[in-house]
Structure 1
Amino acid sequence: MSNLLPTLHFSKTGSTMLLFAGALAVSACASKAPKELPPEPGPATTTQTQPSDLGPVAGSQADFAARMTGADTIYFDTDKYDIDATDQAALAKQAQWLMQYSNKRATIEGHCDERGTREYNLALGERRANAAKNYLVSLGIDASRVTTISYGKERPVALGSDEQAWAQNRRAVTVTID
């Protein structure tokens, strides 16, 4: 049986021509030097700030939290809602921020530890939040800018049934809102 595909035979001259045509095609793709080179780049003169260099947006909750460095939360003794000297300092810092951003409002969240009934802890959390609010108002913050809410024992930050966990959960937390 004979082969049905034709066999291609190149002569030495045909091979040379094919090689020359390939080299010519490749050389046509090579870039040519420009007639004039662009000027050397100078020193960078950009004044744009990189996003990673930016801190929190001024007047935002992130700004409030960053400036408070822990002073956004005050702590209470068992079954108490009185404002002590440490709490007064924290609330004074909060009031200073709120005065700077007079268009911002705040919510004070009252919290309790796990002991006691749900109803008792909701009432105690409300008294804690109101005590913090009243102190802010005494420092010159308009009462209409501050709301309160009690979560009682429903939102603990520390899990556990010991004094260390309970102490962390007896708190009032200030959160800013628009």
Structure 2
Amino acid sequence: MVKRLSVYLLVFSLTFSLSLFLNACTKKVIREGIEKKEETAKAEEKVKEELKGEPTVSEPLKSEDDDNAAREAQLREKELKKQREREEAAKREEAAKIEEAAKIEEAAKIEAAVREEFENTDIHFGFDKFSLTNQAREILAKKVSWLQGHTDLKIKIEGHCDERGANEYNMALGERRANSAMKYLVTAGVEASRVSTISYGEENPLDPGHNEDAWAKNRRAHFKIISE
């Protein structure tokens, strides 16, 4: 009886101890599981935090594309600026050429007008005279000034008379009139080698009339540019 009771107590003790052990193991397993879940959650949270602070793979690519686009835009702007500068320079150059051409054309017109005036402005003489009038001297002074500005030119002075008088006499009178004009030019500083004379007497009248007005026009010295 006593022995049986001892066996029962031993069995109960073992059963209770086993129950306590199993209960403790179960709690430990549960606690470890909870701790692992917490650690996993913390790790995931940490990864999320780290991912928030780091750029994604596409972000660097996007930033690089933006930089490239900005550089290309700057290059295009520089090229456009250079193109505009070239165009403006070309316009200025063209305007300068046009202005210069206009100046040259205007100068040529003025020169042609002065040249025409030089050749078409005669000096006139009194009847049977070869001395210079005051008006003739004023005209010759202008011709001196023009000739001194055109040292590459040579001129010929033609002496003319009206129809009255003998042909031989008029030829000599025409020569004296041309020489009077030449003497004035040379005395004023024009080189003698640049001036020549010829007499046409009454052969080439400016006015074919037979009156005093026509005769006054024909008593003259005419100037022609003969070389450049």
TM-score range, shorter chain: 0.5 to 0.7
1:1-178 to 2 correspondences below 5 Å: 45=94, 47-48=97-98, 49=101, 55-56=108-109, 58=111, 63-66=114-117, 68=118, 72-178=121-227
Cα deviation for residue 119 of structure 1 reads: 0.7
CA distance in 1, matches of 2:119, 2:223: 12
Are the structure 2 counterparts of residues 64 and 53 from structure 1 closer, same or farther at C-alpha, using a change threshold of 3 Å?
A: closer
Q: Letter of the aligned partner of 2:116 in structure 1?
A: A
> The residue matched to 2:173 in structure 1 has which SS?
helix
Q: Do the aligned partners of 2:155 and 2:225 also contact (CA within 8 Å) in 1?
A: yes
Q: Is the 8 A contact 2:161 2:219 kept in 1?
A: yes
User: What SS class does the counterpart of residue 92 from structure 1 fall into?
Assistant: helix
> Matched residues in 2 for 1:105 and 1:85: separation?
25
Larger RCO, structure (CA 8 Å, separation 6 or more)? 1
For residues 115-170 of structure 1, what are the alpha-carbon distances to aligned partners after superposition, in whole Å with 9 as ceiling and x for unaligned? 11111111000000000000111101111110000010010110111000000000
Task: Give the partner amino acid of 1:77.
Answer: G
TM-score by length of 1: 0.66
Gaps of 5+ in 1: 1-42
Give deviations 1:18-75, integer Å, cap 9, x for gaps: xxxxxxxxxxxxxxxxxxxxxxxxx9955444798674484x6x64223x495x3100
- What code does the residue aligned with 1:122 have? M
Q: Alpha carbons of 1:56 and 1:107: their partners in 2 closer, same or farther (altered >3 Å)?
A: farther
Q: Give the Cα–Cα distance (whole angstroms) in 2 for the partners of residues 137 and 77 of structure 1.
A: 23
Q: What CA distance in whole angstroms lies between the structure 2 residues aligned with 1:113 and 1:151?
A: 10
Secondary structure of the residue that 2:204 maps to in structure 1? Answer: coil
**AA in 2 matched with 1:65:** E
Gaps of 5+ in 2: 1-90
Give TM-score scaled by structure 2 length. Answer: 0.52
Which structure has the larger Rg over C-alpha atoms? 2
Normalized per residue, the structure richer in helix is 2
Identical pairs, percent: 42
How many equivalent pairs are there?
135
